[in-house]
Amino acid sequence: MSDANLPFDIQYLERLADVAIGTGLNLQPGQQLVLTGSAETLPLLRRIAIAAYKAGASVVTPILSDEAITRARYMHGADNSFDAAPDWLFAGMGQAYEANAARLHVSSENPMALSDMDADKVGRASKANAIAYKPALEKISSFAINWSIISYPGRAWAQLVFPEMSADDAQAALAKAIFAASRVDCDDPVAAWDQHNIDLATRRDWLNDQRLDALHFKGSGTDLTVGLADGHLWSGGAAEAKNGITCNPNIPTEEVFTTPHAARVNGTARASKPLSHQGSLIENIEVHFENGRIVKASATRGEEVFQKLIETDEGASRLGEVALVPHASPISESGLLFYNTLYDENAACHIALGQCYKDCLVDADDISDKDLKARGGNSSLIHVDWMIGGAETEITGITQNGERVPVFRGGNWAN
């Protein structure tokens, strides 16, 4: 579809591109940019490239995917091909990040793209990609570079969110929701993001002042105690990467988050929203943790995919992130289920299986794997967020001396 035929106002793509480069990445003169997205996102990718070069980028390198080509692999690929991955591509991305290239991904994926494909093949391919991508992912998870994720209203995705509408109307409706959540539908998006970052920083600083030892989540099938890593730090909104550049890794974002202790998570967690993972939809996840590890897991849909996910490696069945999002967040109040983690995780409190964020630990620069583990940080090939919060969620902080501090009541901040 050409730009002229898009069923939404193109000016908002221009604003979103500017926000992605200026607020999301804070791209610096002379930086290279690794830009990824599906072929469908080209109208936005092209505008991002223009904004990047205007900001002084030296080279913008686009890497495109395509749903039909991805599906072709699962329909026609040889069985042994699903244990292969483009190591050379991920190695090149890792080298780019090592040289201080910025990273921007434009999400538009059809959440159901691979739902009718062999779950074993999907799981094997995902694991192979995770292994190959690990050196590059390390630069992201350690916040070594400035990076960000934004979204484009893909048509297949839009029709899943708005199934009762025509394709054009659904795409227009999803575009409107994306532009609102990304704060580009107001007169001054930059000022709106500046204020939002101040608000998130206030929550982050309060949590850091509490010096909590654990969080107790209760509500809608969840009764979970999440121990927090030794010397954990809360983060949220704009933050300074290790290359000295302050950026917003997620647009939109409504969360404050930190690193849990991988060996101190106990109880039951029930998903409050579906998880879209690698083209498969996983619904009604319920897991039970003992001493940090999932010992029992189920789902009413996509259970085989979820089981493969948590069997990726030893760290895949442990937590790498815990994040707090009020039920009153704008994305939650939209009433929409996006079937997209970038959005749905910003509508509800969530946890993430797998790799922790090392920058959410005090004095974690160049921390060894041994020291990371000793402090409770988790290591894994994966990092997958899923939602456990809702209107009834109650969260109580537990301090080092056992004092209980109200954090969330009725799904929202207690103070």
DSSP H or E segment with residue 44: helix 42-54
8 is a domain residue = yes
Kindly tell me the burial class for residue 370, based on how many C-beta atoms sit within 10 Å of its own C-beta (0-12, 13-18, 19 or more).
exposed
Co-location of 144 and 266 in the same domain: no
* Chain centre distance of CA 363: 24
Co-location of 224 and 168 in the same domain: no
Co-location of 223 and 313 in the same domain: yes
CA distance from start to end of the chain: 48
192 is a domain residue = no
Co-location of 327 and 389 in the same domain: yes
Q: Render each residue's pLDDT in the chain as its tens digit; 415 residues.
A: 568 789 999 999 999 999 999 999 999 999 999 999 999 999 999 999 999 999 999 999 999 999 999 999 999 999 999 999 999 999 999 999 999 999 999 999 898 899 899 989 999 999 999 999 998 988 998 899 999 999 999 999 999 999 999 999 999 999 999 999 999 999 999 999 999 999 999 999 999 999 999 999 999 999 999 999 999 999 999 999 999 999 999 999 999 999 999 999 999 999 999 998 878 889 999 999 999 999 999 999 999 999 999 999 999 999 999 999 999 999 999 999 999 989 999 999 999 999 999 889 998 878 888 999 999 999 999 999 999 999 999 999 999 999 999 999 999 999 8
Co-location of 150 and 271 in the same domain: no
Co-location of 218 and 169 in the same domain: no
Q: Which domain holds residue 283?
A: 211-233+254-413
88 is a domain residue = yes
| Residue partners of 328: CB distance under 8 A and separation at least 6 | 411, 412
277 is a domain residue = yes
| Prediction pTM value | 0.90
341 is a domain residue = yes
Co-location of 224 and 267 in the same domain: yes
203 is a domain residue = no
Co-location of 144 and 276 in the same domain: no
3-state secondary structure of 297: strand
Co-location of 149 and 221 in the same domain: no
User: How many angstroms separate the CA atoms of 187 and 18, rounded?
Assistant: 14
For residue 157, what is the domain's CATH number?
Answer: 3.40.1830.10
Q: How many domains does the chain have?
A: 2
247 is a domain residue = no
239 is a domain residue = no
Co-location of 100 and 174 in the same domain: yes
Nearest C-alpha neighbor of 270 from the set 300, 291, 293: 300
Co-location of 151 and 224 in the same domain: no
At 389, give phi and psi (nearest 5°): -100, 165
Co-location of 111 and 218 in the same domain: no
**What is the secondary structure of 59-123 as a DSSP string?**
-EEEEEE-HHHHHHHHHHS-GGGGG---HHHHHHHHHHHHTT-EEEEEE---TTTTTTS-HHHHH
